[in-house]
Amino acid sequence: MKQLMKFHAHFITNGLSNDTLFLSAILSFTALSPAGNLAYAHLVFHQIHSPNTFMFNTMIRGYASSFNPSKAMSFYVKMLQYGFVPNHYTFPFVIKALCMTEDYFLGEALHCSVIKFGYVLDLHVANSLLHMYASFGLFSSEIMNLFDEMPEPDVVSWNVIIDDLGKNGCFDEVLAAVNQMCRYGVEPNSVTLLGLVSSCLKMGDFDLGKLIHLYVIKRGIHMSENLGNGLIDMYAKFGDMESAEKLFVALQMKTVFSWTSLLDGFIQKGELERASVVFNQMPKDTTAWNVMLNGYSEAGDMSSAETIFQGMPDRDLVSWNTMIVGYTQTKKYMKSLELLREMLGFGLKPDRITLVGLFSVCGYAGVLHIGEAIHSFMEKQNIKEEEVEVALLDMYSKCGDPEKALTVFHMIPRKTVLAWTNMIVGLAMNGLANEALMLFHQMCNVGIKPNEITFLGVLCACSYAGLVKEGKWLFNAMSKVHGIAPRSEHYGGMVDLLGRAGLLKEAEMFIQDMPEEADAGIWGALLGACRMHGEVQMGENIAKIVTQMDPYHAGRYILLSNMYAAQNRWLDAEKVRKKMKTSGLHKTPGFSLVEMKGEMHQFIVGNHS
């Protein structure tokens, strides 16, 4: 730019400042070259007494590719005010600018201008309009009407239609469009086939995806970088890692995306060792690091996840969220909170995923004041997404503050079954059974269909409150009224309800009348009821069934041992404990979280350190 400015100054001093050819060259370089300066081009343009169509087009093109695309529209309006007629070079760049601003109404206005100036049949302009409407994120009648008016749509036109149909989930129409395209004699290219591969993934149609790959091979279609990466990603996501690896090896140009697709495929199949080998060989960007990090986190291997996290050259919010969620899922709540403090220290702001993970931590750890502080942050940031609000009300419920949970619930404008269910469960866990049932009936009255989790919540409420009649009615209504087949958890809930109410024989008969064989969890619920009511004889019989079905569950043996101890049958209690010891079974130690001077401390039963 410095050399150009000297050159420009030389021409001005020599009286050539109004030379059209010279000014056009200056504008072209400053507005369009990567080494140029658009602001300088703007200054030069405003010194020109009689700009021509080429100069206007240059400025429109420059701003269409800039961070301020709305300026392109300003130059287009000024061009019309000067009395110039836009040409087939003008419209594609103005349309490109409108795609970036996502202004639908201006887009329609420009479409009218295209028609007015007679360029609607120009293939390049028409394709630009198609792309503009597609970029607005809606498959409108304008797209199809415009496409139908095109006398000879080319492969670019068809690709826009196919891609937009795929994005809007119209997969049958995608296949119909490709067939029609071929009937019109337009040969699909790598972009078309990439769109089809994407649709195959969304449809879950692996066979069609393999046919597309076969078509590429048989027709000798150039395997572009994007198409090759798309096919590798398809094979990996469908779990065919053998084919993904073969294609990867054959790929001439391997990008970070190619490697990452292979890496993610091995992780999704649970083959972390092979994923680690790929990860160590590949060129890495932040996405690749995050994929490996997420693989270890989802597998519960937080030690390896920590190693990856510490080794990352650059961490983004996804990296921090992955670790926070991973610690939460492995019940390392202190680590989650420590990581939050560290994250905030780096100046990163929590997003939706962070907040959901943090509210989960606060709920399980019972740190209400930290949850309230995060709630305050959420309100200041004006975050109103239902997923976050549901996590917030769940946190208040778990921290024993159902009133605040209800306040959050009532503030959610459009409540889905997720919000209703979490509130019902929250009321149930706080012993507000009648309120939970009232909310359930209110939910049904406003037309929200309950799901399986909703029924678990209301059955739990009935169980804790001893509402046997209501629980039976709900269990029957589940299948007969709402068409939901009870799962093992629902049968277990009914056994728990009957058992807590002291109806042990009825609970046993209920299990025996089940359409499928009861699992250890259902029998375990009855064993717990026997312990509660001191029914040792029945408990002994059920304990034999449960320990045969689930011999490595320490809790079953502890229940039986405690039952004997409550009846002063110390020898029998000791026998059960010895059997546990010889089988190598240990009770999972309990722990407590205590906050001191702003730091969380975890105390584990039996730990003397």
- Could you report the per-residue pLDDT of 143-161, keeping only the tens digit for each? 888 888 898 999 999 999 9
Would you state the pLDDT for residue 210?
94
What span, in angstroms and rounded, lies between the C-alpha atoms of 266 and 255? 17
Which of 300, 340, 342, 297 has the alpha carbon at shortest distance from 322?
Answer: 297
Tell me the β-bridge partners of 595.
600
Helix axes 190-203, 225-237, angle to 10 degrees: 10
Question: How many Cβ atoms sit within 10 Å of the Cβ of residue 378?
Answer: 21
Q: What is the pLDDT of residues 331-342, one digit of tens each?
A: 888 888 888 889
Would you state the pLDDT for residue 602?
54
Which of 172, 168, 174 has the alpha carbon at shortest distance from 194?
Answer: 174
What span, in angstroms and rounded, lies between the C-alpha atoms of 383 and 391? 13
Cα-based torsion angle of the residue sequence 99, 101, 104, 110 in order, rounded to the nearest 10 degrees? -70
What span, in angstroms and rounded, lies between the C-alpha atoms of 74 and 43? 15
What span, in angstroms and rounded, lies between the C-alpha atoms of 481 and 477? 5
- Residue 553 DSSP SS3: coil
- Residue 470 DSSP SS3: helix
Which of 548, 545, 531, 459 has the alpha carbon at shortest distance from 495?
Answer: 459
Instruction: Decide: residue 217, CB within 10 A, 0-12 exposed, 13-18 middle, 19+ buried.
Output: exposed
Would you state the pLDDT for residue 551?
65
Record the tokens describing residue 310, joined without a space: 């510490």
Helix axes 38-46, 53-64, angle to 10 degrees: 150
Q: Which phi and psi (to 5°) does residue 550 adopt? A: -140, 75
- Residue 604 DSSP SS3: strand
Which of the residues in the chain have pLDDT under 50?
591, 596-600, 603-609
What span, in angstroms and rounded, lies between the C-alpha atoms of 406 and 414? 15
What span, in angstroms and rounded, lies between the C-alpha atoms of 95 and 112? 12
- Residue 445 DSSP SS3: helix
HSE-CB of 253 using CA atoms within 13 angstroms:
8
Supply the DSSP symbol for 350. P
Record the tokens describing residue 86, joined without a space: 């836009």
What span, in angstroms and rounded, lies between the C-alpha atoms of 302 and 327? 7
What span, in angstroms and rounded, lies between the C-alpha atoms of 89 and 70? 18
Which of 339, 342, 303, 304 has the alpha carbon at shortest distance from 324?
Answer: 339
- Residue 167 DSSP SS3: helix
Would you state the pLDDT for residue 358?
87
Would you state the pLDDT for residue 11?
61
Would you state the pLDDT for residue 170?
83
What span, in angstroms and rounded, lies between the C-alpha atoms of 494 and 463? 8
Would you state the pLDDT for residue 595?
53
Residue carrying the six token digits 């199949």: 269
Residue carrying the six token digits 């039976």: 472
CB environment 183-207: b (16+ within 10 A), e (fewer): eeebebbbbbbbbbbbbbbebebbe
